[in-house]
Amino acid sequence: MIFKTPLRRAILIRRYKRFLADVMLEDGAETTVHVPNPGAMLGLTAPGSPVWLSVSPDPKRKLPLTLELIEADGGLVGVNTMNPNRIAEAGIAAGLVPELAGYAGMRREVRYDLDSRIDLLLTDASRPPAHVEIKNVHFLRRPGLIEFPDCRTTRGVKHLKALERVVAAGGRAVMLFVVQRMDGEVFTTADDLDPAYGPALRAAAEAGVEVLCYACHVSPEQIRLDRRLPWSPHAPESL
């Protein structure tokens, strides 16, 4: 996924009300920007952190600047939760996810199950479709250990149950975690922050839902899928 316009560098002053942040631009001006991330963003909101902003061409937008990247733990981290679907779509189309290669068609936001929409539906005349649910990941509190989620997510558990029903009906279901940072080595669930999601993911895997996790290469020019991370159903004591 290539950013459509050059990102602007700034310094984070504070994040508040979930979707807002105050920043200082390179010319010293202070302004409020949109934060497209409803999560806790643990470890990613330290005042004084360098950030990168996209600029909307829409003159009607109240906040034309959007927070895209933040520097943390010595590297860049993508925080826009709207981007992982675009990153995954581009990566799958480019053949960067061997597990999902070879499908002739790809559709977004397709209705399925009871009242859900699947992020990506991969189709091919020679095999059943693959339902791909995508989650944004950027939480790290131990070197190398990527965790999800960073706060409770009842919606995430609902999606896992829907994927289980796809498998039970004879289909293929994939839970794809897109890690918008480069310093991960292992992926696991943060069971202390959400006691429900980890057990639900493990149960889904046992029921046949495939669990994939891919780290990204992140730069102010683009974010792209880079390499697969192993999934540890329980947090390892050491890496």
Q: Residue 142 belongs to a domain with what CATH number? A: 3.40.1350.60
Cα separations in angstroms, 216 against 112, 178, 226: 28, 7, 5
Residue from 138, 144, 163 nearest 69 by CA:
138
Any domain includes 135: yes
Interacting residues of 159 by C-beta distance below 8 A, sequence separation 6+: 116, 133, 175
Residue from 133, 188, 140 nearest 41 by CA:
140
Assess whether 191 and 94 both reside in one domain: yes
Sheet holding 139-142, edge to edge: 139-142, 145-148, 186-189
Range of the domain at 95: 83-228
The pTM score is 0.94
Assess whether 69 and 92 both reside in one domain: no
Q: 35-87, pLDDT tens digit by residue?
A: 999 989 999 999 999 999 999 988 889 999 999 999 999 999 999 999 999 99
Q: 87-128, pLDDT tens digit by residue?
A: 999 999 999 999 999 999 999 999 998 888 999 999 999 999
Assess whether 115 and 155 both reside in one domain: yes
Which of the four pLDDT bands, split at 50, 70 and 90, describes residue 239? low
Assess whether 101 and 199 both reside in one domain: yes
Assess whether 175 and 218 both reside in one domain: yes
Residue from 200, 218, 187, 196 nearest 71 by CA:
218
Spatial separation of the C-alpha atoms in residues 26 and 10, rounded to whole Å: 6
